[in-house]
Amino acid sequence: MTPLILGLSGPALTDAERAFFRDVAPAGFILFKRNVVDRAQLKALTDDLRALAGRDDVPILIDQEGGRVARMQPPEWPAFPPGAAFDRLYDVAPISAIEAMRANAQALAVMLREVGINVDCLPLLDVRQPGAHDIIGDRALGTDPLRVAALGRATLDGLKAGGVVGVVKHVPGHGRATADSHVELPVVTAPAEELESDIRPFATLNGAPMAMTAHVVFTAWDADRPASLSRTVIRDIVRGRIGFDNLLMSDDLGMHALQGSFTDRTAGVIAAGCDIGLHCSGDMAEMQACAAGVGEIAPRARERLDAAMATIASPADATPFEALIAKRDALLALAEAA
C-alpha cells in the first residue's frame, strides 16, 4: 500500500486510472464534484473503487461540509447549512446547538453511506480570527476555542453514529491565516502564546480518528516551512503539544501554498511526519510524480489507518435521514426566533 489518498478525473474510472491504482495501491481515494452525477452513478463508482482496492474498508473521502463546500449538491441531494449557522444558535442555546450539530452530522453520514462514502473531511476546528482571509469564514464553528471544540465533538459523534469517519482540519489551525493556501502560502506571525487558542480545539479533540494538516507557516514554531512540511511542527506541536497520535494526512499536495515538484512535495510531507499525502486533482502526471516520492506505507501509519477505519464497523443509530433533518431544522429555528 502506498501512503497516498488520490483523486480521479471523472464520474467513472478510466482504463489508465484503473491500471495506475492497481499498480500503486493507494491508501484511499477522494471525490469531488467532477466525480458526482447522481446516486446510482456515485454508488457504482464507490463500489468499483472498493473492488479495485480489494478492501471493503478502503477510505473513500469527500469534502461535504455544508454551505459553500459541498461536492454532492441539489437537486440530487439537499443543501446543508454552514458551520456559522450552529455558531449563531450556540449564542442563544448552547445545548441545542450541540444537538443540532450532532443531528446534522449524522444526517450527512447517512447520505454519504448510501452512496458508499465512508470518510467526510469534517469538522473544521479552525478558530475564526478577526481580519483573517475568508477561505475559512462561515465554514468555521466560531471564534471561541471551547465552542469550536464542543461543536466539533458533536460533529464527530454524529458522523460516527451514522457510520462515517470524521477528519479534523486544518491542524494546527488555519483560522488566523490572511491568505488562501489554495492560491499562496499563508504566513502567520502571531507569537506562540497567542497560538494556544488556535490549537486548543485540536488538543481537546486529539482522539479524533483522522486529521488534516494546514499549509500554513507559523513563524513562532518554524519560520521556514509550512506545517505540512515541518518536522518541528508535526513532532512538537501536532504530535507533542496537541497530543494527536492518530492518522495524519496532509492537505492537498496540489495547492499553490507548496512549491517544488510533486515528487518532492510528497516525500516532504511524509518525511515531516504525515502518515499519508493527499492529492486531489486526478491529474495522472501529477499522481505518478507523487507516487514516485514515496515507498510502502510505514507500519505505524498503516496501524493508524486501520484503527481509524475500524471506528465505523457499523452505524450505531438507525434514526431515519428525514427525522435527523427535521430535528436539526427545528433546533436551528430557535436562533431565528430569538
Q: Give the residue extent of every domain in the chain.
A: 2-45+62-337
Taking Cα atoms as reference points, which of 325, 334, 331, 301 lies closest to residue 106? 325
C-alpha cell at 119: 470518510
The answer for 260, left when phi > 0, alpha when psi is -120 to 50, beta otherwise, is left
Question: Do 327 and 99 contact (CB within 8 A), yes or no?
Answer: yes
C-alpha cell at 47: 463500489
**Residue 264 a catalytic site member:** no
Q: Measured between alpha carbons, how far is 164 from 263 in angstroms, rounded to an integer?
A: 31
Per-residue three-class SS string for 234-280: HHHHHHHHCCCCCEEEEEECCCCCCCCCHHHHHHHHHHHCCCEEEEC
Its pTM stands at: 0.96
Question: What is the pLDDT at residue 270?
Answer: 98
Question: What pLDDT, in 10s, does the model give residues 249-305?
Answer: 999 999 999 999 999 999 999 999 999 999 999 999 999 999 999 999 999 999 999
**Residue 182 a catalytic site member:** yes
Question: What is the pLDDT at residue 203?
Answer: 98
Question: What is the pLDDT at residue 315?
Answer: 66
- For 41-45, 133-137, 138-142, which range has the lowest pLDDT when averaged over its residues? 133-137
Question: What is the pLDDT at residue 11?
Answer: 98
Reply yes or no on whether the pLDDT at 313 is more than 70: no
C-alpha cell at 235: 513532532
Question: Where is 324: in which H helix or E strand?
Answer: helix 321-337
Q: Measured between alpha carbons, how far is 278 from 269 in angstroms, rounded to an integer?
A: 10
Catalytic residue among 251, 252, 275, 279: 251
In which residue are the cell numbers 484503527 written? 307
Reply yes or no on whether the pLDDT at 323 is more than 80: yes
Name the burial class of residue 312, with classes exposed (0-12), middle (13-18) and buried (19+) by CB atoms within 10 angstroms of its CB. Answer: buried
Question: Do 39 and 7 contact (CB within 8 A), yes or no?
Answer: no
Question: What pLDDT, in 10s, does the model give residues 194-240?
Answer: 999 999 999 999 999 999 999 999 999 999 999 999 999 999 999 99
Q: Which CATH class is domain 2-45+62-337?
A: alpha beta
Catalytic residue among 38, 182, 245, 306: 182
Residue 95: CB atoms within 10 A of its CB come to 10
